[in-house]
Amino acid sequence: MKKLLFTVTVMLLVFTGCEKILHEPERSFEKLDKEEEKLELINGIYYWLLQAHNGYYFYLFAKSDDITYYTREHPDCGSGSYESSDIRIYDELYKSLYKAILNANQLILQLDDVKDALLKGEAHFLRAYCYFKLVRIYKVPPLVTGIDVDYSLPKPTFKEVYDLIESDLNNAMDLLPGSYSEARKPGYSPHKGTVKALLAEVYLTMAGYPLHETEKYALAAELAKQVIDNKISYNLSLVSEFEKLWSSDSTLNSEIIFALFYGEERSFNDHISDIHIYNVITNDRYDVASRFHPEYHFYNNYASNIRKKITFRTGRFIDQEHTFNENDSESEYHTWTIFEEMDPAKDICDHRNYIKYKKWVDEKKLSLAARWLEQPPLTPQLYLFRYAQTLLTYAEASARSGNLNEKSFESVNKIKRRANGKNPDNPSEYDLPNTLTTEQFIDSVVWERAWELCMEPEGRWFDIIRLDLKNEIIANREGYDEQHEFPESFISDDWYFALIPEEDRWLNPNYEE
């Protein structure tokens, strides 16, 4: 008898569009013959992707240098630790992604290439993204392409997983429309530009560790170039000011390539509060700070510019007491709260406790918020891929494929200009000199990616893996940097990858360690 791969009940959870969550239907669909059933399945994929990026997602990257875990319960300088119960860090992500894959499989197996082209292309794209996430976290995950599978699925190779991802994206390319305006839901649903941008990231990854298929650099550069050259039809451009990316008024901005959206029924803070946002309301204090902060060297090496000020909060809220006598009356005491800026280079404990990420927070609205506001104003979207990343992918891939050119420089210079408060389209004093060697240029781009994409779901950690930077970041780590180790039972022996959940390893003998 065939069984589901994992041991939890699979349920279809629904959006009425990418942006609104409604309910859990009590049925699944053996045959898709109604449009609303097809939409329930496709929207269920987005729901499970939201669940995959839940309160544990960023814990995955605590071995990186841009994200370490801040524990409010242990504010003194020192290290924390993870308990065995935090297997959920890996377990819930794994299960959510496979639930999304099962929804995609049902659509792919039943939809017609002509009549249902948009939905079927979207299902191929979303399944490819789920497997791209799985292969970079769990090394060689089971390849499930049907609705039911048995526990004798063979363990695939890296190549086999990437072959499925590449095949899905090529199918999506054939089925999805060629412009932003023709997408199923413009601004939310994928089109050919979205597919090309993701496939460029896939090829960039395949060219690095562990596959080292370096010929893929040229393919990554070509696809990223196609996205850049067709940015008008794909409705893509850099948002002129970095701060606007984190404005709650910028739901559908021109930098979004692929994002998840939170609607009115469930706020961003409701959904990801356990990831990195908590709020403290004490008298006149309204504080939004992150559970995560950068390692000491990462922060200190971060280019000092406007982007850095927008990315991090450096300081703390403190209570001030004031005593005064008036007309010889008894002394009166008044307490109020002020924000104290601090220099993180002066005290390592201050660095650990008072440098927090403030991406995802609309700071302008926060500063105007009443102190009794129940929820901080947060961005309604979770960026997975931004146009800035595609520019940097082109810059790096073109250089690594032996084609360093003017467009390569311009792609990274646009990012650097904006980071320094300049117009991205106008030359500035912050541009890279065109006398750089290829090696110097690549190093500059790698660091620009690290700074631009830190504390984002597709950011620095995945670059650390593909560039095999483990030894470099460990050598730079200070003893007082927060937790960066996990129980050995969670991690495969090459350090970069997590083991698939223990229950599935018990059930499938091909995954016994």
| Residue of 2 and 121 predicted with greater confidence | 121
The pLDDT of 206-213, averaged and rounded, is 98
Most confident of 236-250, 264-278, 305-319, 484-498: 236-250
For residue 304, CA distances in Å to 273, 301, 309, 311, 399 come to 29, 8, 8, 11, 26
pLDDT for 449 beyond 90: yes
pLDDT band (50, 70, 90) for residue 84: very low
- Between 326 and 268, name the one with better pLDDT: 326
Nearest-CA neighbor of 272 among 38, 11, 49, 26? Answer: 49
Q: Are 11 and 24 in contact (CB under 8 A)?
A: yes
Q: Which residue has the tokens 């971060």?
A: 302
Q: CA 342, 345, 350, 351 torsion: positive or negative?
A: positive
Per-residue pLDDT at 16 exceeds 60: no
Question: Minimal CA–CA distance to 5: which of 141, 139, 192?
Answer: 141
- Is the Cα dihedral 419, 424, 426, 431 positive or negative? positive
Q: What is the pLDDT of residue 485?
A: 66
pLDDT at 373 over 80: no
Single pTM value for the model: 0.87
Q: How far apart are CA 106 and CA 123, in angstroms?
A: 9
Q: What is the mean pLDDT of residues 191-199?
A: 98
Would you mind telling me the total number of residues written for the chain in this entry?
513
- Radius of gyration of the chain, Cα coordinates, nearest whole angstrom: 24
Report pLDDT for 250. 85
Task: Report pLDDT digits (tens) over 261-287.
Answer: 876 544 434 333 333 333 433 444 445
Give me the DSSP letters along 76-101. SSS-----GGGGHHHHHHHHHHHHHH
pLDDT at 57: 83
Predicted pLDDT at 54: 74
Task: Tell which wins on pLDDT, 325 or 293.
Answer: 293
Tell me what pLDDT residue 332 has: 54
pLDDT band at 259 (very low <50, low <70, confident <90, very high): very high
CA angle, 395 as apex, 392 and 400 as ends, to 5°? 125
